[in-house]
Structure 1
Amino acid sequence: MDAAPDAVLQARGRHGAHRPAARAEAAALAEVERQAAAVALQVLPCEDCGQEQAGGLCEVCGYRRQAEALTVEAGLVAAAWSADLDDSGAVAAVLVHVRATLQAAVRKVQDDFLGSAESGEVDADPLGTASVLAFGALQAVQEAVPAYRRRALAMLGRSDEAEVEAEARRAYRTEQGRRWFRHNPNGADALAAATKAADAARERTAQFLLAARVEWLREQAAARAEQAAAAPWTDRLPELAARPLDGAAAGAVIAWPPS
């Protein structure tokens, strides 16, 4: 009767002894597969420009993609407060204006770099120059985008939308009614604390509104892109022919650069 438990324990011991070795073998195999996948990825050309052995995306195109994503984001943030969201033309005008503003900032940064480069330096290392220019463009956009967001939050926070003001009034009354202010709810300390709480609530609500509006604009843009891709060219030709070629719609663009 006692032999059976001993045999089981011995078998478990043998299996337990093999577990560390099995884990080590599995880990080694996983590392080999990871390295093989990394090598395979490195030989892929760039998806955007075709540069060989770029790991699927070269450095320059990677910077450009990031800059483009941020440019679109800035445009949506600006449109979220300054345009009628139901008017696709007004939204498009804001996007065009923001893109032009950021492109001007990018050109200035790139011109400054090219103007300060040593004679022959640009031609001697074209790939390096392209990378520096693309990175400079990305930095220029990164520095500008927060201003658009601050502007949008400020404008939404000062708007008279019921949601913003209701939340601000609620926070004001809550803070003013706290027990340490009940003896003098209209005193300077109580009013200052209530005003601060209302401002914070207004900012939180503005952040929520901004996020919701930007998401709605993204969804609308995705839906339009899907419809355009599905529509045959014969249906799209009249629309394309009706578009102005001389920038006549520029008058609808909001002429404010963020500060």
Structure 2
Amino acid sequence: MRVREEVAGPSTPSAGGAEGGPLRGEQREQLRSGGEKAGARQLVFGGRALVPLDLGEALAPVAALWAGIGRASTRTWLAGRVRGEVGRLRGLVDPQLAQQVLAERLERRLRDQAPRSVGDLVAWLLKRGLAQRPGCWSTLCDEGIRLDTRGACESCQVLVGDRRGLRRAVADQVLEERLSGQLALPQQELGREVERRLQEAVREEMARKAAARERAVAEQAGREASYEIKRQVFAQAQWERAAAPCADCGVPEASGLCLPCTERRGIEAAVRDAVVFALVLRFDPDDAPGTRALWQDCERATRAVLEERLVQLREQGVNEASLSWSGRRLMEELRDRRQQAALVRLGQQEEAEQAARMAAAALRRKQLQPGSAASRDAVRAAEEAARGRVAQRWLGELIAELRTLVSLGPAPAQGTDWACALPELAAQRLPGDDRAEQAVGSTRERVSA
């Protein structure tokens, strides 16, 4: 059964202690007007505004003033500004010390200005508390104090020393002019003359710095304009390269070479290199015609392998673009295998083994624990590296000799008058100097041994 509001129950005592009490509307009026009830309402519906938990260390000096910010939206906005300053300080000092640095700044500026005179904490933080005020050019300076060490700023001390030196120089000049008779001033006017000349010198220095800044701004503007011109020229050249047709097949807008032609060129280069690595240990340096014939035979055999693989791929339904890609990969793999085989053969020669032994001995002398597994692995790596260096050097010399023989031109035709041709051929000088020729000859003798 419901109880009407007009009937006072035992569980609803009146304000004066009698039975019955005010209705809800009357109770709200009493809570607004009564001092004791008003205090109870403030305790229930709102507490003291505290600083954000993540900014407790940074805002500790102004924690007592933070409660004076009436609106929650203002506190939220201001906390965002404080977080932004803390984030900026994390980029200048140790991130763990950023809040401590900001707290020291606020405490220092509150100490310079009595806390009671801070009427509006929001305005004070924005205009005075949060702003960093460097006394010099350093980004770590804040009112002559370094943010990272919290010590005196050396750059500011240098500026102070410069100002003191300037004052001393001006005072010495005035005194010298007075003693020499060039300046006729009484003793009491010397200080004013020093201050006047010092102000003039400072103004001249400020004018020079302003002119230097203007020149720097003009130079920067000139550099930016030059960079913009270069960017435009580069963009135009890039567009022209993209619009250029293929040099081989003439396809428009192929950046000078289309993808199929690029793959075909890659195949040709891989075939030539594969032939070189196949013949580098087989050719006879004294038989140029035989070397050229061997080159042609090896090239035909290599192209036959390529064509056989391409025929298999065509039978499987692979398109032409994929055929070119697969052919290039096949030739590159064949080239790499032949190169590795040549390096292995060259690395087995006595000079390569001797270089490996010397590298291993030199490394063992430097090791503190020669018997450990890591030391043995390092020695083996040093041996392989030394052996590989010798093999690479020999391989380069032999390749240069092979290419020279192949590029001498076609073999003489049958029926040539050798009595006339041989003296002319003997008088021709091969490319390279004598030292290179001797090195190649000695390499051939060592490899053939």
Counterpart position of 1:186: none
Asked if 1:157 is matched to 2:365, the reply is: no
1:199-241 CA-to-partner distances (Å, cap 9, x unmatched) read 664443222211221133334445x2xxx5xxxxxxx8x9356
Counterpart position of 1:56: 256
Q: CA deviation at 1:173?
A: 6.8
Q: 2:266 aligns with which of 36, 53, 66?
A: 66
Asked if 1:167 is matched to 2:355, the reply is: yes
Measured in 1, the distance between the counterparts of 2:365 and 2:281 equals 33
Counterpart position of 2:246: 46
The answer on whether the counterparts of 1:156 and 1:206 sit within 8 Å (CA) in structure 2 is yes
Counterpart position of 2:390: 205
After the TM superposition, which residues 101-250 of structure 1 pair with which residues of structure 2 at under 5 Å, given as runs? 101-117=301-317, 129=320, 131-159=321-349, 163-164=351-352, 166-167=354-355, 170=358, 201-222=386-407, 224=408, 228=409, 239-240=412-413
Q: CA deviation at 1:176?
A: 8.7
Q: CA deviation at 1:36?
A: 0.8
- What letter is aligned with 1:134? S
Measured in 2, the distance between the counterparts of 1:139 and 1:196 equals 30
Q: CA deviation at 1:49?
A: 2.5
Counterpart position of 1:95: 295
The answer on whether the counterparts of 1:168 and 1:199 sit within 8 Å (CA) in structure 2 is yes
Counterpart position of 1:83: 283
Task: Report percent identity of matched pairs.
Answer: 23
Asked if 1:25 is matched to 2:225, the reply is: yes
The answer on whether the counterparts of 2:288 and 2:405 sit within 8 Å (CA) in structure 1 is no
The answer on whether the counterparts of 1:80 and 1:214 sit within 8 Å (CA) in structure 2 is yes
**Do the aligned partners of residues 70 and 39 (structure 1) sit closer, same or farther apart at CA in structure 2, a change above 3 Å counting?**
same
Q: CA deviation at 1:64?
A: 1.6
1:75-95 CA-to-partner distances (Å, cap 9, x unmatched) read 222222122233223432443
Q: CA deviation at 1:166?
A: 4.5
- TM-score, scaled to structure 1: 0.64
Q: CA deviation at 1:174?
A: 6.3
Measured in 2, the distance between the counterparts of 1:35 and 1:63 equals 27
Q: CA deviation at 1:179?
A: 9.1
Measured in 1, the distance between the counterparts of 2:378 and 2:268 equals 42
**Do the aligned partners of residues 90 and 164 (structure 1) sit closer, same or farther apart at CA in structure 2, a change above 3 Å counting?**
farther
**Do the aligned partners of residues 221 and 18 (structure 1) sit closer, same or farther apart at CA in structure 2, a change above 3 Å counting?**
farther
Q: CA deviation at 1:135?
A: 1.6
Task: Specify which structure has the bigger relative contact order, considering alpha-carbon pairs within 8 angstroms and separated by 6 or more residues.
Answer: 1
Measured in 2, the distance between the counterparts of 1:61 and 1:16 equals 51
Counterpart position of 1:257: none
- What letter is aligned with 2:323? L
Counterpart position of 1:247: none
The answer on whether the counterparts of 2:357 and 2:383 sit within 8 Å (CA) in structure 1 is yes
Q: CA deviation at 1:145?
A: 0.9
Measured in 1, the distance between the counterparts of 2:214 and 2:378 equals 70
Q: CA deviation at 1:169?
A: 5.9
The answer on whether the counterparts of 1:74 and 1:98 sit within 8 Å (CA) in structure 2 is no
More displaced stretch, 101-110 vs 167-176: 167-176
Larger radius of gyration: 2
Q: CA deviation at 1:151?
A: 1.7
The answer on whether the counterparts of 1:78 and 1:94 sit within 8 Å (CA) in structure 2 is no
**Do the aligned partners of residues 71 and 13 (structure 1) sit closer, same or farther apart at CA in structure 2, a change above 3 Å counting?**
same
1:1-55 CA-to-partner distances (Å, cap 9, x unmatched) read 5243332211111122334433333222222111111222223222222333322
- What letter is aligned with 2:355? E
The answer on whether the counterparts of 2:288 and 2:406 sit within 8 Å (CA) in structure 1 is no
Counterpart secondary structure, 1:81: coil
- What letter is aligned with 1:139? R
Q: Figure out how many residues of one structure are paired with residues of the other and give that number.
A: 213
Task: Point out where structure 1 has 5 or more consecutive residues left out of the alignment.
Answer: 123-128, 183-191, 229-235, 243-259
**Do the aligned partners of residues 87 and 27 (structure 1) sit closer, same or farther apart at CA in structure 2, a change above 3 Å counting?**
same
